[in-house]
Each structure stands twice: as C-alpha cells, then as structure tokens.
Amino acid sequence: MEVIRNHHQLQAYIERNKEMGKRIGFAPTMGALHQGHISLYQAARENNDLVVSSIFVNPTQFNNAEDLEKYPRTIEKDLQKLEASQLVDMVYLPSIEDIYPEKTLSKKYNFGGIENEMEGASRPGHFDGVGTVVEELFKQIKPDNAYFGEKDFQQLSIIRKLVQILNLPIKIHGVPIYREESGLAMSSRNERLNPELKDKAKIIYQVLQRIKEWAPSLSVQEIAHKVKEIFEQEKDMELEYITIADEENLQPTNAFSANKKYRAFIVVVVGGIRLIDNIALH
Ligand code: AMP
C-alpha cells in the first residue's frame, strides 16, 4: 500500500494511474478506522482497479472546538489496519495546507434544503464543511466511484447532491451500516465510551428496531413520544433528536403516507459523546 502525504505527490500518482486507464474507487475518512470503514473498502474493491482512501480530520465540519480537539487520532494504528486489510492500494494523508491552501474556511452551498434539517440544524455549518472537504478531495483524486456509509445517511444525500451541483462524473455508492454484535453502529466516537457506557449505548439500535415495528401503525407523534419516554428513564443518556423523514428529500414528516419511504434518524448523547444512527422503516 502506498502512503501519500501531499497533493503534489498525489497528483503524480493519480495522473499515472489515469493514463493507464485504472478505475479509481475512493472512500474518505477521518481515521480511527474500524470495521465500518473496512466495509467501504470491500464495496470499493468490487468494481474498481484501485482502491484509495484518505484520512483527514476536517476542522471546518466541526462546529464545536472541543469535539474537534477530542476526535480520536490513531494514525499509526490506522496504517497498520489498512495494510492488514489488503483492500487499499493507496491512502492519502493530506496536511491542512493540501486541502485549505489559504484560509481554513468552508464554501457555502445550497443543497436544496436537505442541509437544514437534523444534523444541519443541530450542527450549523457542518454540511458546508463536509461539502468543502469532499469537493476538494474529489478534485484531487478524481475517482470514478466514491463510497459513503449509510450511518451518516444525511451526509450521503448531501454528497449525491454535491456531485449533481458540480456536475462531477463520479458515481456515489451508499454502504449499509456496519454494527457491533450488540447492534451499536460502529463509530470512531465509540472509542471514547467506557465499557459501561458502550453497553448502555446498545439501546439506541434497540429503540430504532422498535420504531420500525411501530411504524406505520403508530403515528409519528406517538412514536416520538415513546422514544422520549424511554430515554428520559436512562441515566447518562440524552436524546438530542428523533426524527422521521422522507428518505428521498430528508424532510421530516408528521404523518406517514403510503407511497413514500421513510427513515428514522436519532442522535443520543451518551456520557457526553454524541452518537448518531438511523434505520429504514420500509
Ligand atoms: P468518518 O471517518 O466517521 O468520517 O467516516 C468515514 C466514512 O465511513 C463515512 O462515509 C461514514 O458514513 C462511513 N462509516 C462510518 N461508520 C460506519 C459504519 N458503522 N458503517 C458503515 N459506514 C460507516
């Protein structure tokens, strides 16, 4: 596996491989790699000649300085995992200047409304930060295919919109959520949970499964009420939001309609750690 640490070296690598007609599959990450990331590489391996990843903790997508500071950084371990997986041909580790040559600021995007709800409402500026870094990485890496996890389902929708807005010839693939045996969605943030909190956090997926059973016979309001009640009884856990939204446009709904597909989206803060998850209700 090649490790590339600046965009000049990257440019030479990409040009060389494009000239040879190699199809590039790309999965960006912020590191602290786990099996969820590996599942993106497995998907990429299936229809590309080269599998490329990147590790870059993108400051502009954090709206909270403490969250950015505490984000786990485990680069040596990550490189070992990537090597051991034998799925990745090249990993790009850009510096801040490789991505933000001038100021470390986001561009402003209009994603047609999907940026305003849920993560967009809870984390102002988050999706502008995501758009900015992914646009830059796409321009530097020029992938044919790019892979994003359904764990961050709203982000996946934003990226689909981004390539449409920018008219980039990149096919976006969503990869199913990879879970621990307990059902807890794998996340780099799980590293910050102690064993007791990690055990408690499995209730998040149990609740999502209950929602799937309840919908659509219970109303959206009844479901939200039940979920709030469950978390009110849990110590060390705070429900930030539970939202049921149309899977197509991510607009929250107040009532189920028969011909639409819905997803439940949840954020729970467990012992100060913000965990995100979602489930299809169809
Ligand atoms: P991150 O490093 O957390 O920014 O995630 C990088 C990519 O991995 C994103 O596309 C995430 O949606 C995806 N990802 C993270 N956790 C999981 C998971 N448990 N299952 C599937 N994809 C995931």
DSSP string, 143-155: -SEEEEEGGGHHH
Q: Which residues are registered as beta bridge partners of 3?
A: 91
Closest Cα to atom 10 of ligand 1: 148
**Residue 65: burial class (beta carbons within 10 Å; 0-12, 13-18, 19+):** exposed
How many Å apart are CA 153 and CA 174, to the nearest integer?
A: 8
CATH 3.30.1300.10 domain span(s) along the chain: 188-280
Ranges of the chain with pLDDT below 50: none
For the entire predicted model, the pTM comes to: 0.97
Rg over CA atoms, the chain: 19
How many Å apart are CA 111 and CA 190, to the nearest integer?
A: 29
Atom of ligand 1 nearest to the CA of 176: 21
Atom of ligand 1 nearest to the CA of 33: 2
- Give whole-number Cα distances, 84 to 54, 88, 195, in Å: 16, 9, 26
Specify the pLDDT at position 212: 98
Specify the pLDDT at position 128: 98
Locus of tokens 């992914």: 134
3-state helix, strand, coil in the chain (%, to 5): 45, 20, 35
Q: Evaluate the omega torsion of the peptide bond into residue 216 and state whether it is cis, within 30 degrees of 0.
A: yes
How many Å apart are CA 172 and CA 159, to the nearest integer?
A: 8
Specify the pLDDT at position 157: 98
**Dihedral angle computed from the Cα positions of residues 243, 125, 156 and 74, in that order, rounded to the nearest 10 degrees:** -110
Bridging pattern class, strands 50-55 and 24-29:
parallel
Locus of tokens 């209009």: 110
Architecture of domain 188-280: 2-Layer Sandwich (3.30)
Question: Residue 165 — φ and ψ, nearest 5°?
Answer: -60, -45
- Give whole-number Cα distances, 254 to 222, 263, 276, in Å: 10, 13, 21
Ligand 1 pocket residues where CB is under 6 Å = 29-30, 36-37, 39-40, 148-149, 151-152, 175, 177-178, 185-188
Closest Cα to atom 18 of ligand 1: 36
Question: Residue 240 — φ and ψ, nearest 5°?
Answer: -85, -50
What is the CATH code of the structural domain delimited by 2-175?
3.40.50.620
How many Å apart are CA 237 and CA 107, to the nearest integer?
A: 34
Q: Which residues are registered as beta bridge partners of 4?
A: 92
CB 202 within 8 A of CB 270: no
CATH 3.40.50.620 domain span(s) along the chain: 2-175
**Residue of 33, 34, 37, 202 best suited for mutating to test ligand 1, as the one with most atoms within 8 Å of CB:** 37
Active site residues: 37
Report how far ligand 1's centroid is from the alpha carbon of 19 (Å).
30
Specify the pLDDT at position 11: 98
